[in-house]
């Protein structure tokens, strides 16, 4: 069950401060240089590829042109969930494109910001699995990441007010490499693939059934209740914990 949320709104000065902190203010290479050694070893080919070099040039050009880019720490999901600690992978698509929202963790927003609809449905599903009042769950999912939940968007940066503005610029090749690297690691993991975009990544997973793959519609209100597999009622959070326990791995305190 999730930790209690902080108050529903922040003072205006605190919000402005979080907006400033939320912007990408350093060259992407600085963030690459700070990646944990475990990820650097697994992702060396992707980081030295021509597509990643092109991505870096694109981001630096947009920064030079004055674009406001989020989040401040594009690789935060990798900083918090190491290759060794990862037990569950949850895939998102694009960082939030509003001031202060994107944290480098898919679906997560800081405490004090309005809860996004997809996250609201995720918390409703957790409550259906384990009980509790979703209104008391905290919007910041760092607590999941520190338990080994890799909250990975397929694009890791975005521009203010422009969803998908950094899609097809090279991030997808990099995050595909992350997914494939995690899947190659021998420890059993759960992959939660919600919606067609995430489910397309199933091709990156090795055959043989050593990992548990859970698929359903995206938790967005547009699809959460629709067939073929509605997200609401899918039971993925409970299934993941049961399976992890069966594999001798610690379940997640959702």
Residue 3's pLDDT band (cuts 50, 70, 90): very low
In this prediction the pTM is: 0.91
Strand, coil or helix: what is 184? helix
* Cα 169 to Cα 75: distance, rounded to the nearest angstrom: 16
Q: Which of 192, 103, 193, 89 is nearest to 148 (CA)?
A: 89
226-248 confidence digits (pLDDT tens): 999 999 999 999 999 999 999 99
- The pLDDT score that the predictor gives to residue 9 is 41
Q: Above 70 in pLDDT, residue 7?
A: no
Q: Which residues have a Cβ under 8 Å from the Cβ of 161 and sit 6 or more positions away?
A: 97, 98
Q: Above 80 in pLDDT, residue 15?
A: no
Parallel, antiparallel or unpaired: strands 158-159 and 69-70: antiparallel
- The pLDDT score that the predictor gives to residue 207 is 83
CB 216 within 8 A of CB 194: yes
Average pLDDT over residues 12-19: 46
Average pLDDT over residues 180-190: 95
- The pLDDT score that the predictor gives to residue 21 is 80
Q: Which of 178, 175, 184, 177 is nearest to 205 (CA)?
A: 184
Catalytic residue ranges = 94
Q: Which of 23, 148, 18, 141 is nearest to 73 (CA)?
A: 23
Q: Above 50 in pLDDT, residue 208?
A: yes
């Amino acid at each position: 069950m999730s930790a209690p949320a902080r108050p529903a709104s922040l003072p205006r000065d605190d919000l402005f401060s979080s907006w400033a902190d939320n912007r990408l203010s350093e060259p992407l290479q600085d963030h690459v240089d700070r990646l944990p050694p475990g990820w650097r070893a697994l992702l060396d080919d992707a980081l030295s590829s021509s597509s990643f070099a092109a991505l870096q040039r694109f981001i630096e050009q947009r920064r030079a042109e004055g674009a406001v880019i989020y989040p401040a720490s594009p690789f935060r999901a990798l900083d918090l969930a190491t290759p060794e600690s990862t037990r569950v992978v949850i895939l998102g698509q694009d960082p939030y494109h509003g001031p202060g929202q994107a944290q480098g963790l898919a679906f997560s927003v800081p405490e004090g910001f309005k809860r996004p609809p997809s996250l609201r449905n995720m918390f409703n599903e957790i409550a259906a699995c384990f009980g509790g009042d979703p209104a008391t769950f905290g919007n910041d999912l760092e607590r999941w990441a520190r338990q080994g939940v890799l909250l990975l968007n397929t694009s890791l940066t975005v521009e203010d007010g422009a969803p998908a503005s950094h899609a097809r610029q090279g991030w997808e090749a990099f995050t595909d490499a992350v997914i494939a690297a995690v899947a190659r690691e021998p420890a059993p993991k759960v992959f939660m693939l919600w919606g067609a975009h995430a489910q397309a990544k199933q091709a990156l997973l090795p055959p043989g059934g050593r990992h548990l793959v859970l698929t359903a519609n995206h938790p967005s209100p547009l699809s959460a209740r629709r067939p073929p597999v509605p997200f609401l009622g899918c039971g993925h959070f409970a299934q993941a914990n049961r399976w992890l326990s069966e594999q001798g791995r610690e379940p997640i305190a959702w």
